[in-house]
Amino acid sequence: MTESATLLILILLTSLGAAPVIFALPERAARLRTAINLTMAAIKVALVGWLALEVGQGARHGLSFAILPGLEFRLQADPLAILFIALSAVLWLITTIYSVGYLERGPHRARFFGFFSLCVGATVGVALAGNLFTFLVFYELLTLATYPLVIHRGTAEALRAGRIYLIYTLAGGLVLLLGTLGLWVLAGTTDFVAGGIMADVAAAQPLAAQALFVVLILALGVKAALVPLHRWLPIAMVAPAPVSALLHAVAVVKAGAFGIIRVVFEVFGIETVRELGLTMPLAALAAVTILYGSVRAMTQDDIKKRLAYSTVSQVSYITLGVALAGPVAAVGALAHLIHQGLMKITMFMAAGNLAEALGVKRVSQMDGAGRALPGTMLAFTLAALAMIGLPPLAGFVSKWYLAQGGLAVGQDWVIPLLLGSSLLNALYFLPMLHRAWFRDAPEAEAPRPRIGWMLAAPPLVTAALVLAAGLMANAPFSPLEWTRFIVELEYRE
Amino acid sequence: MTGPDWLTLSIMLPLFGAVAAFILPRAAAGLGLATVAATTLCVLMMADRVAAFGAVTVPLGGWGAPLGIELRADGLSVAMLALTGMVGLLVSVSAIDAFAGDRTARQRHYFWPLWLLLLSGLNGVYLGTDLFNLYVMIEIIALAAVGLTVLGGTREALRAGLDYVYASILGALLFLLGVGLIYLQLGRLDFAGVIAAPPSAAMTAALAVMFVGLALKTALFPLHVWLPAAHANAAAPASALLSGLVVKGALYIVLRLAGYMPALTEDILTLIGLMGAGAVIWGGIQALRADRLKLLVAWSTVAQIGLIFVALARAGERGLSDSWKAAALLILAHGIAKAAMFLAAGRIKDEVGHDRIRDLDRSPIRPTLAQVTFALAAINLIGLPPSLGFIGKWQLMEGAMMAGYWHWVAITMIGTLFSVAYFSRVLAGFLRFDRVRGGPLAEHHGWSGADAAPLILAGAAVLLGLAAGPIIAFIDLGAGGAMP
Amino acid sequence: MTPDLIYGAAGLAVFGIGLWGAIALQDRMRRLLGLKLCSVGAGFVLIVGAWREPPAAPDPVPHALVITGIVVMLSATAAALALIRRLHDLEAADDRA
C-alpha cells in the first residue's frame, strides 16, 4: 500500500514552518505577522478538511523513516488523528484571531506568536504520531513550546507558575520516556495499531505489562490533569487568556487525554487492558478526578481558576469513557474530546473579554456583566449550559453516550456519577450566570465598554459550534459521526 | 590506496597552518579559517572513502606495524574528525568576530597558532593506531589547550591554566607509564598487538594506569577538579574548543580501547559507571550552585562526561560491543551542543557585560539569538527529543533496560532532572522582565556573524537526532573487531 | 634479581615519589619538579623494555620513544614555567599595590 506524505508535511509546515518566520520578523511588523498567522491557520483548516475527506474515503496518508534500527519516526493520518487535528486546526484559526485582538500593542508579540505556532505544530504532531516514540517527540516539544507562553507576562508570579508547570510536565515527559522505552524493550515496537500490540506480552509477563500501563498512564495523566497530578493546571492560569484557552481546549490537556486514548486502544488494546484488570482502576481514578475537580471549582472566586478546575473535571470524562471499555462509552469519550474543547475555549475567551473590557477577574465582580457585554456573556452562557449537560447542546450529547455506555457494560454507577457531576457543574456555573444577567452592576457605572470584533466574534463562533455539535450531532462529518466511524474501526479488530 | 593521502593531510595541514599563522600574525585569521576549512574538506573526502571501503589505512614513510607509524580511519575516527571539523569551523568563524578589536590583538595573535596546533593533535589522536603516538598527540593537545586556557591573561585564567597544566602533564605521564608497562610485556604498542594480547594481571594493571591518566585528562569524577575553573575562565571561543573538543580526545582513546579490551571485566565497568554516576550527581549539584553562567556550563560538562561513562558501562561486559556506540553518540551530541553553548554564553556575557546568573534578568539588554542558541543547546544536553542528545540517552537507557541494569536507568533520569533544573535557572531569566533596571528593554533581533555560528551548531545538534540512524551505521563502519 | 627488575622497580619508585610530590605539595615549582620526576620514572620503565639478555643487542625502539618523551616533556615544562613566572609577576605586582 503506498502512502502519501505530502499533505501531512504541508500540514506540519503550516505551523512548524511558520514559527521561525514569525520569530524572525521585527516586533513592529504586526500587519505582516497577522497576515502570515491567519493565512497559515486558514490554509491548515483547508488542508485538514481535504485530509479528512480523503481519510474518510479510506485513503492512507503516512510518512516514516528509521531513527534507530527498527525504531521509526512515524506520522500517520488515521481517523482518530483526524479528529484531533480537525479540532486543533479549527480552534487555532479562531484563537489566532482572538490573540491578535487580545495582544494588540502588547510586548513581545513576535515571540508569542512564534511559540503559539510551535505549540500548534506540536499538537498536530501529537495527533499524527503513528507510534509512541513519535508521540513522545511531539509531546515534549509541546511542553517546551507552551512554557514561554505560560510565562509570557514575565512577572514573578508567571515565572513561579511556569516553574511548576515545567516541573510537572517535564517530569511527566521523563516518565513517558521511561514508559516508551519499556514498551520498546517489551514489545519490540511502539506502533499504534488498532487492537493493540501488547496482547502477547500481557499473556507472558502480566506483571510487567501492568507496570508499564501504570507508568504510561501516570506520564500522560500529568498533562491530562488526573488527580493527584493536576496541580499545575490551576496555577498555569496566570497565562494570557488565549493561551489558557488553547491549553485547556486543544493543546496540553488534550494531548494528555489523547495519549491515554492511544495507549488504551492502540498500544494495549482495550481487551488486554481489561484482562490485566486495569479498566476499573482507571475508571475509578477518572471518577475521583471528575468529582474532585467539580468540588474544588465551586470554591474558586477567580474566574479562570474556577474554569481550570472545571477542566480538571471535564477532561476526565474522556478518560472515564475510555476506561468503561465499551463501544458506546468510547463514542462518548471521543466526542467529548471535541465538545469539551469547543465549550472550554468559548468560556476562556469570554473570561478574557471580561478581564479586558471590564477588568472583571472574579466571580464576585460579575454582577451585571451580561448587560455590559451581551454577546460575550451569551456565548459564555451557552457554553456553561452545555457543560452542565443541557440538551440539545454538545455537552449533553457526550454525557448521554457516556451514560448509555456505562449501562451497556453493566457499570450502573456511572449514572449517579454523571448526575452528581452535572449537579456540581450547575452549582458552580449557574451563580455566575445569575450574577451576570440578573444582578445590577455596581453603582459607579463606567461608560459602555467597547471591544473590537477580533475579541467579540471568536467566542460567539465557538458557542455556535457548541450548539451545532449538539443540534446536528447526526450530520455527516459531525464530531459524533466521525467518532462512531473511529470506534467502529477500533472495535472491529 | 590511490589518490591523495587525506589522512596524513588532515594532520599536516593544520600543523603547517599553525606555523604559518604564527609567522604571519596579520594574516592569521584568514590563514586559520582557510586551514580549518581545508582540513575539514580532507575529512569529508576521507569520509567518502571510509563509506566505500569500511576503513582506510596508511603506513607513514613506508614502515608498517609493528615498527612504523600507521594511520587508520574507520567510521568512529571519521565521526570524531567530522565533529572536530564542523565544530572547529564554526568556532573559527565566531572567533574572527570575538577577537576582532584592538584590545584583543594579543589574543588573536596566539589564538590561531594554538588552535591549529590543537586541531593537528586531535586529528592525530583520531587517526593514530599505536599507543606511543597517542601519547605524543595528547601532549600536543595539552600544550595547545593550556595556551588557549590562559589566552585571556587574567589572574583567574592563569591560575586555572596552571592547575590544568599539572593535571594534564600528570595524566599524560600516567598514560606514558602505562605505555611503558605494556611494552615491557608485549614488545609492541600498536592497537592490533595490544588487543590480541592475552588478558593478564599485568596487562590489567597497565591499562588501569592508562585509564587513570585518561580519566584525569577527560575530567572524570573525582579527577575533574581542574576543569570547571579552566573552562569557565577562558575566552568564549577557547572555552568552546576546550569543552566541545579537547576533553573528547582522551575520551575517544578510552572508547577505542574499551571497545576491544578483553581486560574490561564486569567489576571494572561497574566502577567506571559509578565514577560516571558520581560525576552526573556532583556536576549537577555544582551546576545548581554556580553563580556564573560560564561556570554553570563548565560544571555541566563534568556531569555530561560522567553520563558518557555511564553509557559505556550501561549494559556491562556483554553489552560492551554496543555500548560504545551509545557513548559515541553522546560524545558527538555533547561536542556540538557544548561548543554552541559556550559561544552563546560568551555572547551573552559580551552583550550584557557580566555573566552573573542572578542578575541576568535585571539587564535591559537581551541578546535574543544567543539566548535561543543557549536554549537549543540546553535541549540537546538535557536530552529532549528530537535532539542527538536524546537519541544518545535513549540508547543508553535502552541498553541498560535490556540488560536489567535499572540503576543506570535511574542515574540517567536523575541526571536529566538535574540538567533541567540547572539550565532552567538560566532559561527562566531570559523571559523575565519585571526586574529590569537601567533603561528601556533592548531586544536584539538582528543577525550578526557572531550569533550565526553558534546558532547553526545548536540547531544542527537538535536536528541531527533525526539522522541518528545513518550516524550510527557510519560509526560502526570498519569496527566489528576488524582492527588490522 | 635481574637488572631489568631492579631498573623497573626503581622506575616505578621514582614515578611514585614524583606523583606524591605533584599531588601533595603546595609550592608551584615543587609540584612541577614532582612531575619531572614522574617523567623520569616512566622513561626508566620504557628503557627496561629495551633490555635484552646479553649478548643480544638492546631493542632500539624504546630508546627512540624515550628521547621523544624527553622532548615532549621539555616543552611541557617550558610552558608550565612560563605560566608560573607570569603568575608570579602578577602576584608580585598585587603585593606592591
| Confidence band of B481 (pLDDT split at 50, 70, 90) | very low
Average pLDDT of span A144-157: 87
Asked if residue A383 has pLDDT above 90, the reply is: yes
pLDDT computed for residue B449 by the predictor: 67
Distance from the Cα of A77 to chain B's closest Cα (Å) equals 21
C65 and chain B: CB distance < 8 Å anywhere?
Answer: yes
pTM for the full predicted model: 0.92
Residue A399 lies in a domain: yes
Distance from the Cα of A149 to chain B's closest Cα (Å) equals 10
- Chains B and A in direct contact, meaning 3 or more beta-carbon pairs closer than 8 angstroms: yes
The Cα–Cα gap between A290 and B407 comes to 37
- Condensed to tens digits (0 to 9), the pLDDT of residues B53-80 reads 888 888 876 665 556 678 889 999 999 9
Rg (CA), chain C: 18
Average pLDDT of span A28-34: 86
Mark yes or no for CB contact A151/B428 under 8 Å.
yes
Q: Which residue of B has its CA nearest to A177?
A: B394
Question: Which residues in chain C are closer than 8 Å to B181, comparing Cβ atoms?
Answer: 45
pLDDT computed for residue B483 by the predictor: 41
Mark yes or no for CB contact C87/B162 under 8 Å.
yes
Q: Which residue of B has its CA nearest to C93?
A: B155
Chain position carrying cell 572547529? B88
Asked if residue A138 has pLDDT above 60, the reply is: yes
pLDDT > 70 in chain B, percent: 93
pLDDT computed for residue A364 by the predictor: 87
Residue A171 lies in a domain: no
| Confidence band of B262 (pLDDT split at 50, 70, 90) | low
pLDDT computed for residue A469 by the predictor: 86
**Angle between helices A132-150 and A156-187 in degrees, nearest 10:** 180
* Residues whose CB is less than 8 angstroms from the CB of residue A141 and which lie 6 or more positions away in sequence, other chains included: A118, A121, A122, A125, B385
**Closest by CA position to B115, among listed B134, B136, B96, B135:** B96
**By the 8 A CB rule, do B483 and B191 touch?**
yes
**By the 8 A CB rule, do A291 and A420 touch?**
yes
Asked if residue B447 has pLDDT above 70, the reply is: no
Dihedral-angle region of residue A418 (phi above 0 means left; psi in -120 to 50 means alpha; beta otherwise): alpha
Average pLDDT of span A192-202: 88
* Residues whose CB is less than 8 angstroms from the CB of residue B176 and which lie 6 or more positions away in sequence, other chains included: B135, B213, C39, C42, C46, C69
Query: Strand pairing partners for B365?
Result: B442
Q: Does domain C3-96 have CATH number 1.10.3720.10?
A: no
Asked if residue B296 has pLDDT above 60, the reply is: yes
C31 and chain B: CB distance < 8 Å anywhere?
Answer: yes
* Residues whose CB is less than 8 angstroms from the CB of residue B41 and which lie 6 or more positions away in sequence, other chains included: none
C61 against B230, higher pLDDT: B230
Query: What is the overall mean pLDDT for chain B?
Result: 87
**By the 8 A CB rule, do A255 and A123 touch?**
yes
Phi and psi (nearest 5°) for A5?
-105, -15
| Confidence band of C56 (pLDDT split at 50, 70, 90) | confident
Asked if residue C69 has pLDDT above 50, the reply is: yes
Q: Please state, in angstroms and as integers, the Cα–Cα distance from residue A447 to each residue in A352, A358, A364, A438, B178, following that order.
A: 19, 10, 20, 20, 87
| Confidence band of A1 (pLDDT split at 50, 70, 90) | very low
Question: Which residues in chain A are closer than 8 Å to B385, comparing Cβ atoms?
Answer: 136-137, 140-141
Could you give the 3-state DSSP secondary structure of residue A276? coil
Residue A373 lies in a domain: yes
**By the 8 A CB rule, do A232 and A165 touch?**
yes
Residue spans per domain, chain C: 3-96
**By the 8 A CB rule, do A224 and A257 touch?**
yes
- Condensed to tens digits (0 to 9), the pLDDT of residues B343-381 reads 999 988 888 888 898 888 888 888 888 899 999 999 999
Average pLDDT of span A232-240: 87
Asked if residue B328 has pLDDT above 90, the reply is: yes
The Cα–Cα gap between A157 and A73 comes to 38
Neighbour-count burial of B252, counting CB atoms closer than 10 A to its CB (0-12 exposed, 13-18 middle, 19+ buried) = buried
B394 and chain A: CB distance < 8 Å anywhere?
Answer: yes
Nearest by CB to residue C42, choosing from B67, B142, B176, is: B176
A189 and chain B: CB distance < 8 Å anywhere?
Answer: no
The answer, yes or no, to whether the previous bond of A281 is cis (omega within 30 of 0) is: no
The Cα–Cα gap between A19 and B460 comes to 17
This complex has an ipTM of 0.90
Residue A230 lies in a domain: no
Q: Containing domain of residue A414, as a range?
A: 339-440+449-493
Query: Strand pairing partners for B72?
Result: B57
| Confidence band of A392 (pLDDT split at 50, 70, 90) | confident
Interface of A with B in 16-35 (CB under 8 A): 23-24, 26-27
pLDDT computed for residue A356 by the predictor: 84
Average pLDDT of span A242-248: 85
pLDDT computed for residue B156 by the predictor: 87
Q: Which residue of B has its CA nearest to C37?
A: B173
Eight-state DSSP code of residue A447 = S
pLDDT computed for residue B443 by the predictor: 63
- Condensed to tens digits (0 to 9), the pLDDT of residues A399-456 reads 999 999 999 888 889 999 999 999 999 999 999 999 888 888 776 555 566 778 888 8
Eight-state DSSP code of residue A244 = H
Chain position carrying cell 536524546? B390
What's the grid cell of residue C65?
620513544
Average pLDDT of span B471-480: 83
A400 against B480, higher pLDDT: A400
Asked if residue B482 has pLDDT above 60, the reply is: no
Neighbour-count burial of B404, counting CB atoms closer than 10 A to its CB (0-12 exposed, 13-18 middle, 19+ buried) = exposed
pLDDT computed for residue B207 by the predictor: 87
Average pLDDT of span C56-77: 85
Average pLDDT of span A221-230: 90
B406 and chain A: CB distance < 8 Å anywhere?
Answer: no
What's the grid cell of residue B263?
581486560
Asked if residue B410 has pLDDT above 60, the reply is: yes
Asked if residue A2 has pLDDT above 60, the reply is: no
Average pLDDT of span B171-193: 86
Mark yes or no for CB contact B169/C84 under 8 Å.
no
Average pLDDT of span B421-432: 88
Q: Can you count the helices (H) and strands (E) in chain B?
A: 19, 4
pLDDT computed for residue B101 by the predictor: 75
Mark yes or no for CB contact A181/B397 under 8 Å.
yes
Interface of B with C in 128-187 (CB under 8 A): 132, 135-136, 139-140, 142-143, 146-147, 150, 155, 158-159, 161-162, 165-166, 169-170, 172-174, 176-177, 179-181, 183-184, 187
* Residues whose CB is less than 8 angstroms from the CB of residue B349 and which lie 6 or more positions away in sequence, other chains included: B236, B293, B294, B355
Asked if residue A390 has pLDDT above 80, the reply is: yes
Number of domains in chain A: 1
pLDDT computed for residue B59 by the predictor: 82
Nearest by CB to residue C35, choosing from B158, B166, B183, is: B166
Could you give the 3-state DSSP secondary structure of residue B482? coil
C80 and chain B: CB distance < 8 Å anywhere?
Answer: yes
Eight-state DSSP code of residue A65 = E
Q: Which residue of A has its CA nearest to B410?
A: A178
Query: Strand pairing partners for A73?
Result: A65
C49 and chain B: CB distance < 8 Å anywhere?
Answer: yes
Q: Please state, in angstroms and as integers, the Cα–Cα distance from residue A80 to each residue in A94, A213, A222, A449, following that order.
A: 22, 21, 22, 43
Neighbour-count burial of A207, counting CB atoms closer than 10 A to its CB (0-12 exposed, 13-18 middle, 19+ buried) = exposed
**Closest by CA position to B452, among listed B347, B335, B354:** B347
pLDDT computed for residue C48 by the predictor: 82
Counted across chains B and C, CB pairs separated by less than 8 A come out at: 93
- Chains A and C in direct contact, meaning 3 or more beta-carbon pairs closer than 8 angstroms: no
Asked if residue A366 has pLDDT above 90, the reply is: no
| Confidence band of A294 (pLDDT split at 50, 70, 90) | very high
**By the 8 A CB rule, do B385 and A133 touch?**
no
Mark yes or no for CB contact B469/A185 under 8 Å.
no
- Condensed to tens digits (0 to 9), the pLDDT of residues B119-132 reads 999 999 999 988 88
Mark yes or no for CB contact B386/A136 under 8 Å.
no
Could you give the 3-state DSSP secondary structure of residue A227? coil
A219 against A157, higher pLDDT: A219
pLDDT computed for residue B67 by the predictor: 60
Query: What is the overall mean pLDDT for chain A?
Result: 88
**By the 8 A CB rule, do A185 and B398 touch?**
yes
